[in-house]
Structure formats: C-alpha cells, structure tokens
Structure 1
C-alpha cells in the first residue's frame, strides 16, 4: 500500500532488506490525513477556518495587564490565525544546517517527545510489538512505550571499563552484538533507540555501531538515534550524515539544548521522505505554534547560529573547567567523572567513606542537601544501570559552576 502524499522516487532503497511499508502499521498506511484550512491557502481574506476575525483580546501593556514587557512583541503576531501546518521555512534552514538533501527530509514536533510518541504509534502495534532501548538512557522511551502499551526490550550499554571514550568498546558504548542477538530472539522489535551523546552518560555511540545495526539484515525496523546533545560533541559525529544513505534511520534533534530554546518545545526528526511523510500524515494538524515557529526561524538565521556556536564553545570550555574543579574534591569522596563528557553536563559518583565505592545512600543525601539547604539543584542518577552513586551536573555559567563546587565541598565535608 503506497504512502499517501509521498512523491514517487526512483532512488533505490538502502539497505535492501528494509521495506517501510512492512514497518508502518497497516492502519497508519491507509490513513487519510486530516486536511486543514491552511493546507490550501494562507493568504487573502481568510474566511475558511472559523477563526476570530477581530483578533485576540489580550490587552497591551497597562496597569492591569499581566503580560510581561518582553512578551509584548508576541502580541503583534497573527495569533488569531491558525499556524502554518508545514513550516517549510524552518525545515529548509534545518536541512541546510545539517547538510540534509531538503525539507522533505525534516519533520518538526512539539519537542523530541512528540517524535518519540509518533514513531511508536506509527510503527509498533500495541500489545503485540516492542522497542529496544539501551540503559542507561533517556527515560521517556520507556514511559512512552508504556503509555502506548508497547513492550520494551533492554540491552544495557557496556557498563565496564574506567571511562567511556566513544569508541567501539569503551564504557557506555553500544553492545552491538548483544543488540543483534536480542533482535534475533524477538522479531517483534520494530524500533531501536540509541541516545548519542547519551543521557545521562554523555557518551557518543560510534557511527560504525549505528551502521552495523542499520545494515543488519535480520532487523527489519528503524534505528532511532536521539541527538539532543550532538552540538556539544566533536564535529562529524552526527548520524545525520547517514540519513541520505539509509532508509531505516531516523535522527532526532532539538532546539532545546545547544540553541537554548527549551521553552519553545521544538523537536526535529531527520529521515528519508517516506518516514517523514508518514509522520506528517499522523501528526496533529497545527502542532507547531506561531510563537514557536517565529522564534525557531529567528534561531536558525546565520547570525543566531554563529551566536549558538560561540556559546557552545564557552560551555565546552567551562565543562573542562568544571571537571577539573570537581576532581579537586576527590579527598572528600567525589569520584572521577564517568562517561565521555560529550554533552553539556558531567556525571560524578559520590563514594562511600569506608569502601571508596559509589554509594547511592550518601549520594542521595548530598543531592537533597544541595537542593534543600544550599539552593543548588543537580540530578540524582544513581538508579540507572552503571551509574550507582552518580549525580548529573549541568554545565552552568561561570558563577554557577563555581557555586556548585563550593557547595559540594561544604556538603561532602559533613555527610
């Protein structure tokens, strides 16, 4: 059954064992997507969508207005009109930024979480089929699977070794052969989720590992690489470079992290047109709001991208400084950072005084004391596989990094 709305293509499918029409659920393939008013016309006297022709009722800045001054400009947008359902301008800028063939390779969602949810809904039959995840990893994969009544197969990342270096067999690398064994044992696995750089590990999954899974003929589904933190890693490490060559790959990115736009909730999927068209057919008609689109388009301008890269350089430099400062707390029972530190955070284990081993009890006490008594909030990650006793610390401003080290010093001395 052909995918509705997909333009014909003579491009051969690679890998040859992949057939997207066998991956997408039949009810989704046969879906006739909702056609909204703005799909046809966006200019002229618009009397087709039952919008309020008189505009919004939010007052301008007055003594009684609750609108913050910095939001006044948003009132000048056409808030009474439904937003552009396709957002082609944003897609074109993303395609250019990521060296993707064109906007037909780009999907926009309400954060990466909408992309995750849509992928499960279009590919994985509830109560029958499964996804595969690689703990320790982003928690929303499992949460979304449960919401959608989808099974979860877990194959831990490599948990041994002193430190993950992003190589083939370092700590927190993908255990590719074990993933293949899991696929062989359970043909109902439709999606493989890889987080790279990992959350909470901060370690890249090598492109050779991704390729190995994409080319594994026994796996007929889609490999999803979540790259929320990719801009904090070295150049040429993104799986986006593989999108044009592999039809069974979906790369997720976001404007939340490197672009500093977590509040606008703009997630991205990069894939070949068939999968993008399926996601487009299935999404809510106007999923990207006008304020979000306006800010995203501005964030993807050349000058804004230059600024983004400058801030990344500052944060990665600060990351090294933070790691050095945290290392000075070793005598107080703070272990060396684990993971390859390819993101905008670091993860350090709190150690037991007597044994010198990671200690979840002490770590939780430190975590709570920092937050409740010292006004510094980090994240306890000790419950994740291979992360016993660990605190995840986001790289902050220079002053924030200095403060977290000072407060950690004080708390570790008494706990």
Structure 2
C-alpha cells in the first residue's frame, strides 16, 4: 500500500529485512491526511480558513500598559493559522545535523508528541507492545498506557556496586537480552532507547544500536531519544545511521542544549517514508507561529554558536559539580552512577554507616532541600538500579556553591 504524499523515488531500500508497510498500522497507511488551508496557498487575500480578518484583539490596558516583551510576538500574523510545514526550520535543522534535507525532518510539540505519534502509527492498541530499557524516561510508559499498548521491559545492566560503599556504577544496554525478548514476543513493534539516558546520563554506543537495527527478526521501528545528545561529545549521535537504516528514527529537542524548554519544539530525524507517515498523522497546525519564530532565531548561525559555547560551559561545570559532590563522601554521598554524558549527574545517598544506598534517607534529604532550603533536585530512588539516587541538573557555579552548602548542612542532620 503506497504512503500518501511520498514520492516513488524515496521508497525504503535498507535494511533489506525491513518493510515499512509491515511496521505501520494498516489504518495509518490508508490514511488520507487532512488538507489544511495553507497546504495550497499562503499569499494573497486569504479568505479560505475562516480566520479573523481584523487581526488579534490583544490591547493595551486602560492605563496604556503593555508588557514590552510581547511586542515582537504581537507583530506576527497571529490571526492567521501557522505554516503547516515549516520548511525553513527543517532546512536549518537538516544543515545542523548533516542530513540530506527537510524531508528527513519532522517537528512536534516537544518530543512527547513524537513519542505519542510513533506509538499510534506503529502499535495496535491492546494487541501489540513497545520495548523500553529501564531506568528510562517515564513518559514512554505513560504514553503506552494512554494508547493502551503493552510494555516489555529489558532493564539496563548495572555493573559495579551502583554507589554502595561509595563506588560508582555503570549502566549498559543488554543487546542480547533485547534480541531474546524480540524472539519471545513477536508483538513488539517499537523499541525506544534513551541515549544519553534519563536518568542514567549514559550514552548508548552506536555499535549496539546498529546491532539491533540489523537484527532481521525484528520488523518494527527503533526510536533513539537524544534529548541530551549535545552534552555527549561529537560523533555520538545516531543521526549518522539514518542514511543506512529506514527502521530508525532519532528524537531531538530544542529544550536542553538550546535552552528553549518553554517553546515546546521536538524534532524527529528519519528517512522520508517514516517522516511522511508522521506528517500525514499529525494535527494540521501543530507548531505555533511564536514557537516557529523563536526556533528560526535559535537555529541561526550566531545562535547555534552561542548554544555550543553554553554547552561547553555546562560540560566544564558538570566536571566541577562532580568534584564538589565528592567532598560530601564522608557524610554519605556516593560516587555518581552512570557515564555523565548529559547535563545532569545522579548520585546515591548512602546509609549513615556508608554501607549501602538508602532511598528513605535520600527522599528525606530531597524534601528537606526543597521545602526548607530552596534547593530543588530530583529523587530517582524508585527507579531500577537507582536506589538512593538524587538527580542534580548542572547549573551555574553560583548555584553549585549553594547546592553543596545546603546539601552538606542537610546531610549532617538527616
């Protein structure tokens, strides 16, 4: 069954065992996407979309006040529906990530919209499943439950003591176990890998991802969520594999390295057939005009250069934060768990005698920091392999100083 809107010259050819028509739900393949007013024309006297021709109604208050920060946004054509394709944004992303062009790019309302769409197009509710590798991003499981799809869990392998006795632990993907899960359950249609992981901060080697992509007994899609990829160093992204594997989709975002969490712009990078399917399925105007305008500015050469400068600063700050946290070892703070490839570190709180990770103590410290000291970190002690763990985002040097001081004070008491 042909994919609506996909040119014949962009059909899938690799890997040979993968057939996208078998990976996508038949009702999605048969879908004729909604045609919106801006698909055909976006210039001229626009009387086709039932917009308010008199413009927006945001006015100054009675005393003439208007937040000056709003002015640039109000100058946009807010009374018009946004561009449904945003090709200029996609072209800039394609250039930044070294992919052939905008037909390899999909834009979503945050990566969460892309995750939800992937489940809806690939996995039949109440019949088929996704596979995840805990500890991992919690929205995968939430989204699966919303979509009524099953979840197969193949936990990451934790080597070392996982923080017990102050020693660090390391997480790794169990490729052979994932393959066994595939062999035992042919209803698995979507595998979601988080790299660098959240909350593990661990990058998955490209060789491991390639091994799963080439496993000919798996006929579904592999999604690699790379929200933190810019903190992991050059040549670490699975985007480099997209040209060879039509069964791969890479998720990225402007929330982390670009510092634009508030605008909610997620990115998916894949070969054109899968991108076309997502485009056919999405809401017609999912990316707002203010979001698009900010994204264009963020993807300009000067802004991209600024992003890289800030990422380099945060990477240096990450190392100094880890060094500062090590000074709290006598008070029962273990060594970081994971590979520290993201903009956060995860450390276990140990029992008072330093014997093992202590989730109860960690949770009490977490609450005391937030409620009594104005320092908010994240308790992750309920995640597999993360007993006693607090996840701490890399901040400014001034913030780190306060965090270490407050953490030291609280750990003396608790």
Q: TM-score range by the shorter chain?
A: over 0.9
- Separation of aligned partners in 2, 1:411 and 1:263: 32
Map 1:201-220; keep pairs closer than 5 Å.
Answer: 201-220=200-219
What's 2:318 paired with?
Answer: 319
- Alignment match, 1:35: 35
**Counterpart in the other structure of 2:328:** 329
Number of matched pairs: 409
Aligned to 2:166: none
Any conservation in 2 of the 1:163–1:340 contact (CA below 8 Å)?
no
How far apart are the structure 1 equivalents of 2:114 and 2:341? 23
C-alpha contact 1:364 1:380 (8 A) present in aligned 2: yes
Distance in 2 of aligned mates of 1:68 and 1:143: 37
Does 2:223 match 1:229?
A: no
Measured after TM superposition, the shift of residue 337 of structure 1 is 0.7
- Per the normalisation by structure 1, the TM-score is 0.97
Aligned partner of 1:5 in structure 2 is: 5
Sort the Cα spacing of 1:60 and 1:133 in 2 relative to 1 into closer, same or farther, 3 A: same
What's the C-alpha RMSD, in Å, of the aligned pairs?
A: 1.4
- For residue 339 of structure 2, give the secondary structure of its aligned residue in structure 1: coil
Is the CA contact 1:107–1:268 (under 8 Å) kept in the aligned structure 2?
A: yes
Partner residue, 2:273: 274
* Residue equivalent to 2:171: 172
The answer to whether the 8 A contact 1:326-1:405 is kept is yes
Question: Separation in 2 of the partners of 1:209 and 1:163?
Answer: 22
Q: Is 1:343 aligned to 2:339, yes or no?
A: no
Structure 2: distance between partners of 1:304 and 1:60: 32
Matched position secondary structure for 1:159: strand
The equivalent of 1:360 in structure 2 is: 359
Q: Distance in 2 between matches of 1:117 and 1:299?
A: 25
How far 1:398 sits from its partner (Å)?
Answer: 1.3
Which residue of structure 1 aligns with residue 132 of structure 2? Answer: 133
TM-score by length of 2: 0.97
Structure 2: gaps spanning 5 or more residues: 164-168
User: 1:18 — aligned with what?
Assistant: 18
Q: Is the 8 A contact 1:61 1:72 kept in 2?
A: no
Unaligned 5+ residue runs, structure 1? 165-169
Change (3 A) 1:11 1:79: closer
1:6-405 superposed matches below 5 A: 6-9=6-9, 13-60=13-60, 63=63, 65=65, 68-161=67-160, 171-354=170-353, 356-405=355-404
Deviations 1:33-85 (A, max 9, x none): 000000000111100000000000101476365x5321221100000000000
Provide the C-alpha distance between the structure 2 equivalents of 1:281 and 1:153, rounded to a whole number of angstroms.
Answer: 28
- Identify if the C-alpha distance between structure 1 residues 62 and 329 changes in structure 2 by more than 3 Å, giving closer, same or farther: farther
